[in-house]
Amino acid sequence: MKIAIGQIHHEANSFCVVPTQWGDFDFVFGEEVLTRWRGAGMMISGMIDVLEAQPGIELVPLLAGVAPIGGSLVREGFDAIVDAITTRLQQADVDAVVLDLHGAMLADGVDDPEGEILATIRGIVGPDVPVVIGLDCHGNITRKMVDNVDLLDGYRTYPHRDYRETGERVARLFVEHLHGLNTVRHLVRVPALFTAGSYDTDKPPFRDVLDVLRGAEAAGIILAGSFYPVQPWLDIEMHGCTIVVTAHPDQGDAAAAIACRTAQLLWDRREECRAEFTAPADAVRQARDMSGTIVISEGGDAVSGGGCGDSSVLLQALLPVSEVSSAITICDAPAVDAATAAGVGATITTLIGGSLAPQFSDPVRIDAEVVTLGDGVWINEGEVMRGFRNDMGGAAVLRCDNIHIVCSRKRVMSWDPGVFRCMGIEPTDMKIVGVKAQRTLETTYGDILSGVFWLDMPGACTANLTQLPWQRIQRPIWPLDQDCAYRATIEE
């Protein structure tokens, strides 16, 4: 049995000013897909390992690539992805397709790229070849996606820690039904947007929503039930959280009832997910007086949420207390160039910050010593996306008094402490560590942090959704609109 396998991972943010290009994906093709991800911690790794352990299965690797979260993918890039899949699938004559997708991609002129990709695949393989996908629960799930697959499931944790486990679960469920995957899928949309800092799947109400789905799985009503709290920063018409259940056709009505009940429960308890944030100067002042290493989250500029990673907001709050030891990150290519030209040990005067998204923070003039220069490459060693290779495209550590700024040429997802360690900085040596990430840092810094503050700050992934310049999103939607009536129904 030949099973095509692939990965296309891109999460878009409509408010990110940096468009995504084909070259932003670290694509590999054919056998390299397997050598890169076999045994690692990504969703596709779990899929590969479960499928390869089955006798009689031959994997046909298509492509695998992850792009940093950014603006909409340029149209040529999207067309190139569709072409790459089409060409390989047409040559392969496979018996099934298994994919690791994100679900919140955007391309120029295409609001539902994953739906388009899946419809293209369905057009090639026909109605009888199973198409099975795993998704990030921050995906924006559409009817087109659901209609063109036989089985889908998403991460069940946020902060995420079940990348590989989700791949294993999807692959096992598929293997159990290897000779007859006959399903119905129901989708219910909830007109609500939650920011990443405002919830945790281990706590109510999200835990209660997930418990209903787990109960329905245990009772045999559904094969898989997923709750997608969606990435909120997508300015497209069809947006919102979704509940998706996959069931045997004879359980279709009962499965639909579970999906509606779960969606209504989420809606009724949405007010429990309002987040608390601290002003930058207050966070720095409080952190200074606490014991241990304190993490300050610049979540509004998290590259993993669509920020540019160039915000100077925390730096500006640190400068008045620069004697306190701290380490932060700022993406600023010209500053890296200036540091490289000057060399290690030199003192430079440079502008830093606000170089990519000046609407969210201002450049700051600093006098700094160039402490370290490096290529800025590291492999994630922690629980989150273990094995993923990060590349800052060249980096410098600039020091102002006791503030250590890891300055990168490229935007990187900097929730892994490796961003500091690869440049010779040990986060535990610092009083304050600035991390441009949202709740994921609770997993990546779990062993280190003595406390955490979530900054109230402007940015492409700010938690204050009402401040963003929305244009296309269908209203009403909570929390942009407070007075919405809602009754959960299956989306047709």
Q: According to the binding rule CB under 5 A, does residue 138 interact with Zn ion?
A: yes
The residue sitting closest to Zn ion, measured at its beta carbon, is 138
Shortest CB 65 distance to Zn ion, Å: 17
Considering only the stretches 50-58, 138-146, 265-273, 371-379, report the one whose residues sit in contact with Zn ion under the rule CB under 5 A: 138-146
Nearer to Zn ion, 65 or 376 (CB): 65
Stretch of 135-143, 166-174, 281-289, 371-379 lying at the interface with Zn ion (CB under 5 A): 135-143
C-alpha span between 351 and 485 (Å, rounded)? 49
Q: Does 122 bind Zn ion (CB under 5 A)?
A: no
CB of 138 to Zn ion, least distance (A): 4
Min dist CB 348 to Zn ion, Å, is 37
- Contact segment (CB under 5 A) with Zn ion among 70-78, 134-142, 209-217, 352-360 equals 134-142
Nearer to Zn ion, 166 or 311 (CB): 166
Residue 154 and residue 226 in contact, taking contact as beta carbons nearer than 8 Å: yes
Which one of 130-138, 332-340, 392-400, 424-432 is the stretch in contact with Zn ion (CB under 5 A)? Answer: 130-138
Measured CA angle at 268 (ends 267, 273), to 5 deg: 70
* Span 443-472, contacts to Zn ion by CB under 5 A: none
Complex with Zn ion: residue 65 or 353, whichever CB lies closer: 65
Other CB atoms closer than 10 Å to residue 42's CB: what's the count? 23
> Which position among 24, 112, 116, 136 is part of the footprint of Zn ion (CB under 5 A)?
136
Interaction residues for Zn ion, span 85-114 (CB under 5 A) = none
Residue 136 Cβ vs Zn ion, minimum distance, rounded to whole Å = 4
Q: Which is nearer to Zn ion, 138 or 436 (CB)?
A: 138
CB of 232 to Zn ion, least distance (A): 11
Nearer to Zn ion, 13 or 372 (CB): 13
Question: In terms of CB distance, is 155 or 251 closer to Zn ion?
Answer: 155
409 binds Zn ion (CB under 5 A): no
- Between 153 and 332, CB nearer to Zn ion: 153
Binding site for Zn ion (CB under 5 A): 136, 138
